[in-house]
Amino acid sequence: MAPPRRHTGRTALLVVAGVIAACCAGGAVLALLATAAFKDATSPVGAAPPGLNTAVRDGKFEFVVTSFSCGHPSIGRFITRKPQGQYCVAELTVRNFSQEAQTFADGYQKALSPDGTKFGADTGAGVIANENGDAVFNLINPGNQVTTKIVYDIPKDTQIARLELHDSAFSTGVTLAIA
């Protein structure tokens, strides 16, 4: 009778290596699918970003920025707020074209300087500018839209070249040229 064969651990090592390889391949496929799901179909790679009064989409939202202006020394009529630097105001329409409700928030929207510095929205100033809270946090049901203002407080000597608009905190966003 032959002695029993000893297991050297090679089989276990091969099984573990196979599991790791399968997980890596699955992760790569999921990353590609997630990128494709969030990618804006209206902005081809390498193309110049669209500008004002052009409909752009990210996720479940279609955005149309109708105006953008900087140099505002304050925001509001009855209640006013002064910036640390200068206020820039984007006026836009946000439409939910999907079949599910989605929440719009000004905090997801970014303003970019020509060198790529990102500025977040000033939510407090946005509440005052809108007088109705639409910019802060608004559930938009399918087919509905809101018209709102997003306010940014940026340094006095800074310019804004682009807006980066998002349907959620996790979307890739869509870039819009405003300069």
* 59 residue type, one letter: G
Q: What is the DSSP letter of 107?
A: G
Q: For position 22, what pLDDT does the model report?
A: 47
Residue 32 lies in a domain: no
Q: For position 48, what pLDDT does the model report?
A: 77
Residue 46 lies in a domain: no
Local confidence band at 159 (pLDDT 50, 70, 90 cut-offs): very high
CA-based nearest residue to 117, from 95, 85, 144, 94 = 85
Residue 43 lies in a domain: no
Q: For position 7, what pLDDT does the model report?
A: 53
Write the pLDDT tens digit of every residue in 31-85: 333 434 434 444 455 677 899 999 999 999 999 999 999 999 999 988 999 999 9
Segments in the chain forming alpha helices (H):
10-38, 123-130
Residue 88: give the domain boundaries: 56-177
**When comparing pLDDT for 155 and 29, which is higher?**
155
Q: For position 31, what pLDDT does the model report?
A: 38
What CATH number is attached to the domain comprising 152?
2.60.40.1240
Most confident of 21-25, 28-32, 76-80, 120-124: 120-124
Angle in degrees, CA 131, 135, 138, rounded to 5 = 110
Residue 48 lies in a domain: no
Residue 66 lies in a domain: yes
- Count of domains forming the chain: 1
Burial letters 146-173, b for 16+ CB under 10 A, else e: bebbbbbbbeeebebbbbbbbbbeebbb
Burial letters 27-47, b for 16+ CB under 10 A, else e: eeeeeeeeeeebebeebeeee
Q: How many residues does the chain have?
A: 179
CB distance 64 to 51 below 8 Å: no
Local confidence band at 19 (pLDDT 50, 70, 90 cut-offs): very low
Write the pLDDT tens digit of every residue in 124-136: 999 999 987 666 7
Residue 130 lies in a domain: yes
Residue 6 lies in a domain: no
Q: For position 12, what pLDDT does the model report?
A: 46
Residue 113 lies in a domain: yes
CA-based nearest residue to 106, from 57, 165, 173 = 165
* 110 residue type, one letter: K
